[in-house]
Structure 1
Amino acid sequence: MGIELKKLTIADCLSLESYSALRPVYMSERQPVNQFIWEEFYDTHYYRNDTYMACVIKAKDVFSPMMPLCKAEDIPAVFSEIKTHWNKVFNQPLNMYLVDEAFLSVLRTIPGFEEEFTVEDCRENYDYIYDAGKLRTLSGKAYHKKKNHLNSFLKAYEGRYEFRTLDCSNVAEIEEFHDRWLDNRDYEDKHGSMRSEENGIHRLFKYCGFVDCQIGGVYIDGKMEAYSIGSYAPEIKCAFIHIEKANINIPGLYNYINQQFLIHSFPEAEIVNREDDLGQEGLRKSKLSYQPIRLEAKYHLYQQNIKL
């Protein structure tokens, strides 16, 4: 049976969870919330069978697969099946996007792989992985500035702030705050992705009751001034922070919601994935300042010198 691509829907996104658990995968793209938010931007399709699931994105007007989710021992066979289909049925070289280190390590053991494929290191797509305990406490010399920012916020707004766990009943006020946030944000949008992220967030809220995610917000004087959306992968004890927006005119507010969202929504998490920086200089500086314990590397693969 050939690979028949289908448009990714919210129901299909949810099936990602079972495939993502087939081996330890730490990339943010393994999470249904991430895929659903960016589905429109990438025109995401998918294919799945009993062995694997692969999301397929449109890049340079050509559909190409992201790394398939499967068991480690199935990687060579799955890769071979996908490559054969792209070459023989689609009559295209296989370009595969967002491949993690473990998947690539297996591919490098396949005879001829190194000669057939060029591997591109995609630094701007690396995810930032943090120690969850340290982000909850901000203890230690490395977090001294962060702790000072947090304490300044707590002092300046004492008795006026409140963290709340939110749900679908709060969607309208979250969207109202998000619009205010956009109006006051000067943002370097290198990939033109900001509008797609906004559309994805609104679409996520439209299907709020069907999506397994946590939402938290910070109120000051009873008015929402920050919110965050995250999800959790229990098999790797990792919290994924997909969205985090705060009023930039309130110093220390980002520090506060970052900390409180983890404390209240993901108390069992041991690590935190705060996604990539998309090559944005300011965002990279901010993510590095939180002292990641590692960066989750991602690679693109390009098939070379193939006769179709």
Structure 2
Amino acid sequence: MGIELKKLTIMDSLYLEKYNNLRPIYISERQSINAIIWEEFYDTHYYCNDMYMMCVIKSRNRNCPMMPMCKIEDIKDVFMEIKSHWNQNLHEPLNMYLVDGVFLEILKTIPGFMDEFDIIDDRDSYDYMYDAEKLRTLSGKAYHKKKNHLNSFLKNYAGRYEYRSLSCADIEEIEAFHDTWLDNRDYEDKHGSMRMEENGIHRLFRNCGLIDCELGGVYIDNKLEAYSIGSYAPDIECAFIHIEKANINIPGLYNFINQQFLIHAFPEAKIVNREDDLGQEGLRKSKLSYQPIRLETKYHIYQKITGVKTAIPE
């Protein structure tokens, strides 16, 4: 059976909503906003039928599928269909990226899978999962420092700050703040992906009206100084925080936008996915400091075919 790929567009990415609900999936790649942000970086294409949807990314000039979205009971059949296409039609090894633990455990039950495939545990892609109520209240000893930073901000800027729910009508203001934030930000770029991420964020801004998301911002002296963009998956009661930027010269502002965005935009959320750290040491330290309840593990799998060099994720 042939698999014909199509270029992923903004409108196509919205198909993800339908397929992501076929089983509980907690990784950030399930959300359409994530696909939109990284479409240019990965040159993303896709394939879908009545059973599954699969995004395919480019790695070293080779097409490599990401984990297909399908029902749990269909995982084996879907995987074997994809494997057959890569091996028999494309005459290439199957390298599949960003596979979650549930999907992988089912693949391990396929006879011969463990002999045929190498499994790579990709720490830089782990998503950070949090208890939503803990982030709203910052209660408990583990959040003592965070609560102190928040209280210091509230005291120092009393009467000057305001949290506002934002909309697409505010995008020009958000984009202007974002560019200023970027100009004043130093960051490491382990995978050479940060500039592409910024291009993806601007793609979101340009297509705001097409995307189902929540936006919130903090104004100080009536000037936007922080903003956040997130989405919600009701099937798993999870808020996904895709973007969060704040003026780093205002102590405690990140703590405030983090808390207020959850309170106002996602009051019903039980858990929060704040995505991965891209292998950036500073970002990893920051995400760990918020006491994740778990890290959502992601794997890459590589088919071992003698004489054929497999693609290594960039």
SS of the residue corresponding to residue 96 of structure 2 reads strand
What aligned pairs does 1:184-195 form with structure 2 within 5 A after superposition? 184-195=184-195
Cα distance, 1:196 vs structure 2:
1.1
Which residue of structure 1 aligns with residue 220 of structure 2?
220
Structure 1 segment 202-213 matched on structure 2, within 5 A: 202-213=202-213
- Contact kept, 8 Å, 1:181 with 1:245, in 2: the verdict is yes
Where 2:76 maps in the other structure, the secondary structure is helix
Letter in 1 for 2:188: E
The one-letter code sitting in structure 2 at the alignment partner of 1:107 is L
Structure 1 segments of 4+ aligned residues over 6 angstroms from their partners: none
The aligned residue for residue 183 of structure 2 is 183
Aligned position for 1:12: 12
Q: Which amino acid aligns with 2:165?
A: T
Q: How many residues align?
A: 308
Q: What is the match of residue 311 of structure 2?
A: none
Give 1:133's aligned residue: 133
- 5 Å matches for 1:14-163? 14-163=14-163
Aligned to 1:249: 249
Normalised by the size of structure 1, how large is the TM-score? 0.99
Structure 1 CA distance, aligned partners of 2:41 and 2:220? 33
The CA deviation string for residues 208-240 of structure 1, in whole angstroms up to 9 with x for no partner, is: 111000011110000000110000000000000
CA positional deviation for 1:268 = 0.4
The Cα shift of 1:306 comes to 5.0
Counterpart residue type for residue 259 of structure 2:
Q
Letter in 2 for 1:81: E
Query: Which residue is equivalent to 2:312?
Result: none
Distance in 2 of aligned mates of 1:178 and 1:249: 14
Alpha-carbon distance in structure 2 between the residues aligned to 1:305 and 1:46: 25
- Identical aligned residues as a percent: 74
Distance 1:188 1:142 in 2: 28
SS at match of 2:26: coil
Question: Aligned partners of 1:155 and 1:209: how far apart in 2?
Answer: 36
User: Could you tell me which residue of structure 1 aligns to residue 261 of structure 2?
Assistant: 261
Cα separation, 1, equivalents of 2:155 and 2:131: 26
> 1:93·1:306 contact (CA, 8 Å) conserved in 2?
no
Q: How big is the shift at 1:51?
A: 0.2
The 2-side partners of 1:283 and 1:157 are apart by 26
For the residue of structure 2 that corresponds to 1:177, the secondary structure is helix
If the length of structure 2 is used for normalisation, what is the TM-score? 0.97
Letter in 2 for 1:206: R
Letter of the 1:166 counterpart: L
Alignment of 1:252-291 (within 5 A): 252-291=252-291
Equivalent residue letter for 2:84: T
Distance in structure 1 (CA, Å) of the matches to 2:269 and 2:294 = 16
Shift of 1:305: 2.6
The separation in 2 between residues aligned to 1:6 and 1:89, in whole angstroms, is 17
SS at match of 1:261: helix
Shifted more, 193-202 versus 142-151: the winner is: 193-202
User: What is the rounded CA distance, in whole Å, between the counterparts of 1:302 and 1:90 in structure 2?
Assistant: 15
Name the Cα RMSD after superposition: 0.9
Deviation track 1:193-220 (CA, whole Å, cap 9, x = no partner) reads 1211111111111111110000111100
Deviation at 1:57, TM superposition (A): 0.5
